[in-house]
Amino acid sequence: MKIRDPKSIIIILVYLALNGFIVASSFLEDEEAVDANRVAKSVAPEFTEIEKLDYFHLKEGVPQMSLAADKMRSQGEEMAEFEFPKGVYNYQAKNKTIRYSADFGLYKKKKDLLNLDGKVEVLSDEAQYFADKVKYYFKKDLIIGTGDVKFFGDDLKSKDHVEITSLQMRANPQSQLSTFKGNVKGFMARKKKYEGRLTFASQELQMDGNKSLAELRGDVMMKRDGYLITAGKADVFLENYNKSLKYFVLNDDVKVTERLETPEGVTERKAYAERLEGFGREEKMVLSGAPRVEMGKDVIKGYRITIRENTELVEVDDAMSDMQIKREKKLKE
């Protein structure tokens, strides 16, 4: 009987050991994969779907948020998705409510945030907000809207009706504060229709319902009756229309263009200044900061000039004013 070379025996034993290790490792990996799959299944979110439901979120036993929806898909206490939600949020401290509706809603409970998408409407007692998309932070009293933003509301003091369109909106309904940005347009209509309306446009507008104040910034345009005003910024004091106080104030490169009817026919009057103060009830505008008024071939300059709406009357208030009148040059023979 021949005995194999000891080196050959050692090589065979090492080979067998390696194969055994590989087989054992594969079994361990399979078991780990099964365990991992079990763990993944155990932590996977469980969703609940309900059709035609009424949903309530309670706070101290009282419904703080309630809504009806065609369908809800809920993930435990984390979040809930809604199709065509229509609901109400209760501000218990102020005994007021906010109503809302949209094509789709996503409520994140921990953040107290409601995302609304598609034909969004948010309605309070004082105002109506519309947008393509809205983020509503209930606890912060904050609405952030984007896409085809619209606002309809009435000033509580002056009763002026205000309508605004823009690309973006940031509003605090209960605090009566709103900011609109991007291609802002709209109008302010007096409660008494014969007092007319003020049409405006700007890049940004801030509304403060507590002060009855509208602040316009960037490429401001204002139109009222027969005149058009452009400037860098403007403030409109809605409550002051029928008071002997400034109704609107414009600053930065102010230009006024007005069409007047005169015995000679319709003419155009233009005025330029760094600042303009308008008085609603008195229907006058006071220009300061190197003011200049042009009407036809006449030019008036001074330190302070007052022009009356719908009349040719121009008042140069400062006695040190300098008046210059352009005369048509005679044609040479």
Q: In the chain, what percentage of residues exceed pLDDT 90?
A: 39
**What's the confidence (pLDDT) of residue 325?**
44
Tokens of 262: 């005169």
Residues 150-178 have pLDDT tens digits of: 999 998 888 889 999 999 999 998 888 99
**What's the confidence (pLDDT) of residue 234?**
96
**What's the confidence (pLDDT) of residue 26?**
52
Higher pLDDT, 37 or 144: 144
Tokens of 27: 């079994």
CA–CA separation, 284 and 197 (whole Å):
16
What lies within 8 Å, CB to CB, of 146 at 6+ separation is 131, 132, 133, 134, 167, 168, 169
CA torsion 131-133-138-141 (nearest 10°) is: -50
**What's the confidence (pLDDT) of residue 152?**
95
CA–CA separation, 331 and 333 (whole Å):
6
Residues 246-271 have pLDDT tens digits of: 899 999 999 999 987 776 777 888 99
**What's the confidence (pLDDT) of residue 34?**
46
CA–CA separation, 106 and 135 (whole Å):
10
Phi-psi region of 119 (alpha: psi -120 to 50; beta: other; left: phi over 0): left
- Which of 289, 185, 275, 295 has its CA nearest to residue 231? 275
Tokens of 19: 């194969």
What lies within 8 Å, CB to CB, of 35 at 6+ separation is none
Residues 175-214 have pLDDT tens digits of: 889 999 999 999 999 888 777 889 999 999 999 988 999 9
Residues 96-149 have pLDDT tens digits of: 788 999 999 998 888 888 999 999 999 988 899 999 999 999 888 899 999 999
Q: From the CB of residue 142, how many other CB atoms can be counted at a distance below 10 Å?
A: 16
Residues 270-312 have pLDDT tens digits of: 999 999 999 887 888 999 999 999 987 888 888 899 988 777 7
Q: From the CB of residue 234, how many other CB atoms can be counted at a distance below 10 Å?
A: 25
**What's the confidence (pLDDT) of residue 23?**
52
* Exposure of 70 in the CB half-sphere (CA atoms within 13 A): 7
CA torsion 131-137-139-140 (nearest 10°) is: -80
**What's the confidence (pLDDT) of residue 40?**
45
CA–CA separation, 274 and 251 (whole Å):
6
CA–CA separation, 235 and 262 (whole Å):
31
Residues 6-18 have pLDDT tens digits of: 555 555 555 555 5
CA torsion sign for 41, 45, 46, 49 is negative
Provide the pLDDT confidence category of residue 316 given band limits of 50, 70 and 90: confident
